[in-house]
Amino acid sequence: MTALEKTDLTAGARPLALKSNQFRKAREETWRELEALVARAEKRGVLSLGPEELERLPMLYRATLSSLSVARGIALDRNLLNYLEALSVRAYLVVYGPRVRQLNGVWRFLTTDLPRAVRQARWHLLIAALTLLGGVIGGFLLAQSNEDWIGALIPGDLAGDRGPDSTADELRREEIYAPWPGLVASFALMANFLFSHNTLVGLLIFGLGVAAGIPGLLLLFYQGLGVGAFIALHYNRCLLVDFLGWLAVHGVTELTAITLFGAAGLVLAEKVLFPSRMTRIESLASQGKLAAQIAIGAMIMLFVAGILEGGFRQLIQATEWRFAIGGFTGLVWLSYYTLAGRRR
Amino acid sequence: MTLEATRNSLASDFLEGRAKKRNSIAITAPEGVTLFFNLADVGERATAFAIDFFIWTVATFVFYLIMVFVVFGAFKLSGQIGLTVALSVMLFLGFAIRNFYFIHFELAWQGSTPGKRAVGIRVVDRKGGPLTPMAIVARNLTREVEIFIPLGVLSSLGRSNSTAENLALAAWMLLFSALPLFNRLHMRGGDLIAGTVVVALPRKLLLADLVGAETQNIFLEKHLRAYGTFELQILEELLRRPGAPDAVQLRREVTDKIVKKIDWPSKVADADTLRFLTDFYAAQRAHLEREQLYGKFRADKNAAVTTAR
């Protein structure tokens, strides 16, 4: 085709000025710079950026956001729009990502957040404690009159050799006043096993809070039944005081922890059942973090209980001292949860 | 959805398919601009979890081997006792590692874990606020209940003698685990509690602008009345794929259609189709953008011009 055959419409070589084209030319450098910074922060973390770059980042981010607003208004270039949308999202995540020093966070949690969260859930705590207590009483009454219940109420691997066939002498020798098995074995075997078993049960009680709390409460009650059955077993053999002392060393901490798990589950359950003006999902999210704080606190307590149980229980053979330790731990937890983290 | 969001979405729906399009969540940044986050789909999250799970398994196994050496070597425990000690320590370590693994990485890597990073997804706050450490802890604590305990129950199905009971338990627990399949935002139980959602990180390249410095063909107002934004963006897609196998033929067909529709006075040779389409694209975009400045937006060729109120 020669130039002569063309109409003047195709004569060509005219300059073209597009608003969106100029807009892009003026700002593209900013976007590219932001893109490079964001890519680096995504790969190696925000801290890999130098001080000057860190200063540039929010400026570039805001400039790009404003570009996005303009582009949504004027640009019809799909690639450009998609690029700006994606870049803004990525930059937003880098600029507003969590930036907490983990150690500071842990300290703040222990000194302030945790006791406050527990105080906030005191009614839930009361309900959970009453449920557990109900379980203990129920288990005691059942097993005291008929010891066959013990097998049904306590899972085999937790009961060990203890059961209706045990004599008072056996219990005294192999359980309550059993010799200390030595550092490694006692810590490793018992503390670990009990810690992870209890934590699983606790987390289950907590997680089941989402299911309106009933399954969690049932599980809590069931835990109480087991404890009650054990107490009955020893009561029937006139070992009640010795057994309670044996239990107090770690039991005060452990049962409080299980109750805390129950309370955390109830916080969730309350928000599911009574969402007030929010949707159920929003309502759950509003208190979920509080519940999680309580559950973490309970996990820490279980850890402490595991150490007390594995390490100290058999080391101390006098019942009076055992009660003293139990009472002391109870006092420590009580004052920690009621006094720590209050504003002066 | 806002007008801005719909402008782009007609062509996107057509090109990417409405069915395959991801659910998205609108989050308003503190600067007042609404950003659209694409949600990670269930497959991506399962892949990310599988990678993390693999890393966890290997790490736990390595620790177990070390423990066996320490227990048998240093403490001179032998036989049954040594094995039990090593096993119980491993149980504890496995528990600790899998909980701290997720919490640590999501804290340190801003809502991402090695698995999530490999897949390109990330945890964000549903309301657009900062992702707090407590939210991360909350969403990972429930992981134990949602995933690891059901896994344990499933793996013990064959061995136990009370199968019916365990089966019921497993089914009930799997309902929990399958929660992400049943809600639009693909939230796990942990996400519900923590107020978080998992999004896919978008990666888009900025390609060169199709509008060059100058133009060969000159289109008049009357040539540019035929099409709207939708057609413009479809044309853009065609021009951005010059290397596609059927691109030459497609360009020929599209050129013929446009020539016919706008009543273009001259013929376009095969070799000139790219030039013609590029010029037409530039002129059409200039036209539509100009109209838009006057408040007249046109979605596609069938749509009437809407005037912004």
Angle CA A62–A67–A68, to nearest 5: 95
Nearest to A192 among B27, B88, B142 (CB): B88
Q: pLDDT tens digits, residue range A264-298?
A: 888 888 887 887 787 777 777 778 888 888 888 88
A187 — contact with chain B (CB < 8 Å)? no
pLDDT for position A65: 92
- Taking CA atoms, B133 is separated from A106, A109, B121, in Å, by 10, 10, 18
Residue among B91, B203, B233 whose CB faces A192 most closely = B91
Q: Name every residue whose Cβ is closer than 8 Å to that of residue A101 and which is 6 or more positions away in sequence.
A: none
Report the C-alpha gap between A87 and A68 in whole angstroms. 9
C-beta pairs of A317-320 under 8 Å, 24+ apart in sequence: A317/A177, A319/A241, A319/A242, A319/A245, A319/A246, A320/A245
In a shared domain, residues B180 and B55: yes
Q: Are residues A121 and A162 in the same domain?
A: yes
CB contact, 8 Å: B1 with chain A?
A: no
Q: Which pair of structure tokens corresponds to residue A52?
A: 């000057």
Instruction: Please provide the average confidence, as pLDDT, over all residues in chain B.
Output: 76
3-state class (DSSP) for residue A256: helix
- B302: number of CA atoms within 13 Å, CB side? 1
What confidence score (pLDDT) does residue A60 get? Answer: 92
Per-residue pLDDT tens digits for B6-25: 455 666 666 665 555 667 88
Mean pLDDT, residues A250-256 taken together: 86
φ, ψ for residue B226, nearest 5 deg: -75, -30
For residues B107-135, average pLDDT: 84
Asked whether residue A2 carries a pLDDT value surpassing 60, the answer given is no
Model ipTM over 0.90: no
Q: Once rounded to an integer, what is the mean pLDDT over residues B117-142?
A: 83
Per the structure, the complete domain to which residue B280 belongs is given by: 221-307
- B92 and B29 share a domain? no
Q: Find all residues with CB under 8 Å of A51, minimum gap 6, and list them.
A: none
The yes-or-no verdict on residue B113 having pLDDT over 80 is yes
The band of A190, judged by pLDDT with boundaries at 50, 70 and 90, is: low
Angstrom distance (rounded) from CA A50 to CA A158: 56
Structure tokens belonging to residue A85 = 């949308």
Cβ of B138 within 8 Å of Cβ of A16? The answer is no
Per-residue model confidence (pLDDT) at position B161:
54
- Compare CB distances from B134 to A11, A284, A292 and report the shortest one's residue: A292
Half-sphere exposure of A80 (CA within 13 A, CB side): 26
* Nearest-by-Cβ selection for A285 from B136, B195, B201: B195
Q: Which two tokens stand for residue A90?
A: 């990525």
Answer yes or no: do B194 and B276 share one domain.
no
Q: What is the mean pLDDT of residues B196-210?
A: 82
Co-location of B188 and B276 in the same domain: no
Is the separation of the CB atoms in A137 and A228 below 8 Å?
yes
Same domain, B247 and B297: yes
Co-location of B169 and B156 in the same domain: yes
Q: Determine the residue among B33, B71, B85, B280 to mutate to test chain A binding: the one whose Cβ has the most chain A Cβ atoms within 10 Å.
A: B33
Residue to substitute from A92, A99, A108, interface B, most B β-carbons within 10 A: A92
Q: Which two tokens stand for residue A297?
A: 């606190």
Residue B198 has pLDDT above 80, yes or no: yes
Q: How far apart are the C-alpha atoms of A244 and A248, rounded to whole Å? A: 6
3-state class of B155 per DSSP?
helix
What are the CA-CA distances from residue A316 to residues A191, A192, A338, B93 (Å)?
A: 16, 20, 29, 28
Nearest CB to B85; choose among A13, A80, A185: A185
Residue (of A142, A323, A109) closest to A226 by Cα position: A142
Partner residue opposite A193 with nearest CB, options B88, B111, B141: B88
Asked if A136 and A22 sit in the same domain, the reply is no
* Residues of chain B positioned with their CB less than 8 A from the CB of A102: 104, 107-108, 133
Instruction: Tell me the pLDDT tens digit for each residue of A8-44.
Output: 566 556 666 677 788 888 888 999 999 999 888 888 7
Write out the DSSP string of B249-278: HHHHHHHHHHHHHHT-SS---GGGHHHHHH
Same domain membership, residue B191 and residue B86: yes
Instruction: Tell me which amino acid residue A103 is.
Output: L
Residues of chain A numbered 239-268 and touching chain B (CB < 8 Å): 268
Residue to test with chain B: of A62, A79, A261, most B Cβ within 10 A: A79
Among candidates B82, B85, B89, which has minimal Cα distance to B63? B89
A173 interface with B at CB cutoff 8 Å: no
Q: Which residues, in sequence order, are bridge partners of residue B200?
A: B121
CA A77 to chain centre: 46
What local confidence, expressed as pLDDT, does residue A1 receive? 41
Considering only CB atoms, which chain B residues are within 8 Å of A76?
Answer: 7, 229, 232-233, 285, 288-289, 292
| Whether residue B252 has pLDDT greater than 60 | yes
Give the 3-state secondary structure of residue B162. Answer: coil
> Quick check: is A66 in a domain?
yes
Q: How would residue B3 be classed by pLDDT, with cut points 50, 70 and 90?
A: very low
Q: Does B97 touch chain A (CB under 8 A)?
A: no
Q: How far is A306 from chain B (nearest CA, A)?
A: 11
Of A210-219, B40-49, B151-160, B222-231, give the lowest mean pLDDT range.
B151-160
Q: Does A174 touch chain B (CB under 8 A)?
A: no
Contacts of A21 in chain B (CB under 8 A): 209, 211
How far is the C-alpha of A2 from the C-alpha of A12, rounded, in Å? 13
> Which residue in B29, B130, B199 is closest to A65 by CB distance?
B29
Who's near A70: CB < 8 A, 6+ residues apart?
A23
Interchain CB contact of B120 with A (< 8 Å): no
Please check whether residues A194 and A280 belong to one and the same domain. Answer: yes
Helix and strand element counts for chain B (H, E): 12, 7
**Interatomic CA distance for residues A150 and A146, integer angstroms:** 8
The label of the residue with tokens 């999530």 reads B116
Structure tokens at A187: 């810590």
Question: What is the least distance, in Å, from the CA of B37 to any CA of chain A?
Answer: 7
Kindly state whether A303 is in contact with chain B, defined as any CB-CB distance less than 8 angstroms.
no
Beta bridge partners, A15, equal: B214
First to last CA, chain A: 90
Smallest Cα–Cα separation from A171: which of A250, A249, A239, A247? A239
3-state secondary structure of B214: strand
Among chain B residues, the shortest Cα distance to A86 is held by B202
- H helices of A146-279, where? 148-153, 156-159, 168-171, 183-186, 192-207, 214-235, 240-273
pLDDT confidence bin for B5, thresholds 50/70/90? very low
What does the mean pLDDT of chain A come to?
Answer: 79
Instruction: Based on the fold, state whether residues A309 and A250 are members of the same structural domain.
Output: yes
A215 assigned to some structural domain: yes
Residue A194 covered by a domain: yes
Q: Of A291, A151, A290, A131, whose CA–CA distance to A224 is shortest? A: A131
Residue A200 in contact with partner chain B when CB distance is under 8 A: yes
Polymer length of chain A: 344
Query: Both B262 and B231 in a single domain?
Result: yes
B128 lies in some domain = yes
Q: Which domain holds residue A32?
A: 18-95
Clarify whether residues A158 and A268 are in a common domain: yes
Percent of chain B whose predicted confidence (pLDDT) is above 70: 77
Residue B263 amino acid letter: D
CB-based contact B149 A92, cutoff 8 Å: no
Evaluate whether residue A195 is within a structural domain: yes
Distance CA A223, CA A154 (A): 9
Count of domains for chain A: 2
- Strand, helix or coil for residue B76: coil
Query: Are residues A34 and A120 both part of a single domain?
Result: no
CA distance B291 to chain A (A): 10
Asked whether A210 and B189 are in contact (CB, 8 A), the reply is yes
Tokens describing residue A303: 């850890």
* Beta carbon pairs, A and B, within 8 Å: 246
Candidates B37, B107, B216; nearest CB to A89: B37
A171-175: list long-range contacts, CB under 8 Å, 24+ apart: A171/A233, A171/A234, A171/A237, A171/A239, A171/A243, A172/A239, A172/A242, A175/A246
Asked if B30 and B52 sit in the same domain, the reply is no
Report the distance separating Cα A306 and Cα A309, nearest Å: 5
Chain A residues with CB-CB distance to B89 below 8 A: 188, 192
Assess contact for B110 and B122: CB atoms under 8 A: yes
d(CA B180, CA A59) in angstroms, rounded, equals 37
A65–B218 C-beta distance less than 8 A? no
DSSP 8-state secondary structure symbol assigned to residue A344: -
User: Any residues with CB less than 8 A from the CB of A85 and at least 6 apart, and which?
Assistant: A68, B35, B36, B202, B204
Q: Of A231-235, A262-266, B152-156, B305-309, which one has max mean pLDDT?
A: A262-266
**A201 Cβ under 8 Å from any chain B Cβ:** no
| Euclidean distance between CA atoms B200 and B202, whole angstroms | 6
**Residue B151 and residue B76 in one domain:** yes
Does the beta carbon of B166 lie under 8 angstroms from any beta carbon of chain A? no
List of chain B residues whose C-beta atoms are within 8 Å of the C-beta of residue A24 = 209
Partner residue opposite A69 with nearest CB, options B33, B77, B145: B33
Instruction: Kindly state whether residues B75 and B26 are assigned to the same domain.
Output: no
Alpha-carbon dihedral A105, A110, A116, A120, rounded to 10 degrees: 100
Q: What is the pLDDT of residues A148-189, one digit of tens each?
A: 777 777 766 566 667 666 676 776 666 666 666 665 555 555
Question: Stretch B213-231: mean pLDDT, rounded?
Answer: 76
Give the percent of chain A with pLDDT over 70: 80
Percentage of chain B exceeding pLDDT 90: 3
Give the pLDDT of residue A98.
Answer: 67
- Are B218 and A62 a contacting pair at CB < 8 A? no
Q: Is residue B130 part of a domain?
A: yes
| Domain's final residue, options A95, A120, A142 | A95
Contact B124, B136 (CB under 8 A): no
Chain B nearest C-alpha distance from A16 (Å): 5
Indicate whether B214 belongs to any domain.
no
Say yes or no: B129 and B250 in one domain: no
The structure's pTM equals 0.74
In angstroms, the CA A29 to CA A117 distance is 48
- A40 CB contacts (<8 Å, ≥6 apart)? A48, A49
DSSP one-letter code for B21 = P
B109 vs A: CB within 8 A: yes
Say if residue A141 is in the same domain as residue A171. Answer: yes
User: Is B210 domain-assigned?
Assistant: no
Question: Scanning every residue of chain A, which has its alpha carbon at the shortest distance from the alpha carbon of B296?
Answer: A74
- Residue A61's pLDDT is 93
**Residue A321 pLDDT greater than 50, yes or no:** yes
pLDDT category of residue B156 using cuts at 50, 70 and 90: low
What's the farthest any 2 CA atoms get from each other in chain A?
Answer: 119
How many domains is chain B partitioned into structurally?
3
